[in-house]
Amino acid sequence: MAAIPFERRETIERRLAKPMFVLAFVFLLFLAGVIHRVRDFGTTDGDAAAIWVLAGGLLVMWPIFAVEAVLRWFLAPPHCRGRKTVLACLLTCLLPPLRMGARSVMDPRRMWLPRLGWQQVDFDLQKTLERALGVPLLLMALMIVPILTVEYVWADAIEASAVLRLVLEIAISIIWIAFATEFIVRISAADKKWGYAFNHWVDLAVVLLPMFEFMPFLRVVRLTRLMKLETVMAWVKYYRLYGLAGKGWRGFVLLQLIHRMMHRTPQAELTRLMMQLESKQGERRELDREIDYYHRKIAALTQQITDDARARSQ
């Protein structure tokens, strides 16, 4: 890659941006299918076949991200091949959906987004994403209300009908995909990744909690009869945990719905920020008073030391 001109490298990166974003999103779709269907693995031949098809699709797509990650590292100019670039390429290789928020290796201050194209990563982009994704994510969060209603009113019918379970799983998958996509894109545009994750911990919980559904995939081994009593009890505890995770996920989506409805208008957001600013100013005034107090204490002690020194000298 050293012999490839800089302009050619930029051209390659530009041409890869859109198809890799689409492929990363497709990978996320397949992953959502596996996560939300794996609980029923082995219950019917159709479920088992669907899981194997989805898992096979993930395995087929994964090497493409690995190859592209290596290519991106080679495309990066020598002065950009630091630890951040290596870590970014490694993460997109290990977690392909993160490729949707990957920054340019030629200029880490830019990233590609659908309909927006290449954008400078700054405060304006963060606010643009907040406005653009706010209403769609609010609608996605609203979907949890009819889902909870259906699960409560028709619980027995859902348990008996594979079609109803599939419809609910598709609806839950859509919500999860929407939140995962938003979180990946917005944390990629954030200046401080850990700070963003900490401030949006509810979003992070919505994305991570469904991962508990992967473990039942181990039922394919079918060794239940050979398990010791302790192992069986461990599985019972896990399924209790799984049930709590599912309820927790719905609870976090409801929290996110309430939060987004409370901050759905610029006026509401401005009011929240003004109240936060007033609180911070109050904290600053308190700190200023404490600082002034200790300044005066230090000045008094210094003066006392000086007076004692003069008294002894006399």
114 & 173 share domain: no
Residue spans of alpha helices (H) in 263-314? 266-313
191 & 273 share domain: no
Cβ 65 vs Cβ 96: under 8 Å:
yes
pLDDT digits (tens, 9 = 90+) for 125-136: 988 888 888 778
Q: What is the pLDDT of residue 243?
A: 42
d(CA 103, CA 205) in angstroms, rounded, equals: 24
d(CA 45, CA 48) in angstroms, rounded, equals: 5
189 & 77 share domain: no
204 & 77 share domain: no
- Token pair listed for 169: 């799983």
Nearest CA to 168 out of 154, 188, 180 is that of: 154
Q: Is the dihedral of CA 282, 286, 287, 288 positive or negative?
A: positive
Tokens 């993460």 sit at which residue?
91
46 & 137 share domain: no
- Token pair listed for 42: 């082995």
Domain end position, chosen among 65, 86, 118: 118
* Most confident listed range (71-75, 202-206, 221-225, 309-313): 71-75
258 & 162 share domain: yes
pLDDT digits (tens, 9 = 90+) for 160-217: 877 888 888 888 888 889 889 999 999 999 888 888 888 888 788 778 877 765 544 4
284 & 217 share domain: no
149 & 245 share domain: yes
d(CA 253, CA 244) in angstroms, rounded, equals: 14
Q: What is the pLDDT of residue 58?
A: 92
Domain of residue 292, residue span: 265-314
Number of domains in the chain: 3
Domain end position, chosen among 239, 262, 285: 262
The helix or strand, by DSSP H or E, that contains position 90, with its residue range, turns out to be helix 83-94
d(CA 210, CA 301) in angstroms, rounded, equals: 61
Where would I find the beta strands (DSSP E) of 62-189? 110-113, 117-120
d(CA 231, CA 225) in angstroms, rounded, equals: 11
pLDDT digits (tens, 9 = 90+) for 69-88: 999 888 888 777 778 888 88
- Token pair listed for 30: 């397949």
Return the ∠ at Cα 10 (arms to 9 and 11), rounded to 5°.
Answer: 90
Q: Has this prediction a pTM greater than 0.75?
A: no
74 & 161 share domain: no
As beta bridge partners, residue 113 has 117
Q: What is the pLDDT of residue 74?
A: 87
108 & 134 share domain: no
255 & 311 share domain: no
* Most confident listed range (6-15, 39-48, 224-233): 6-15
Domain end position, chosen among 226, 241, 262: 262
128 & 222 share domain: yes
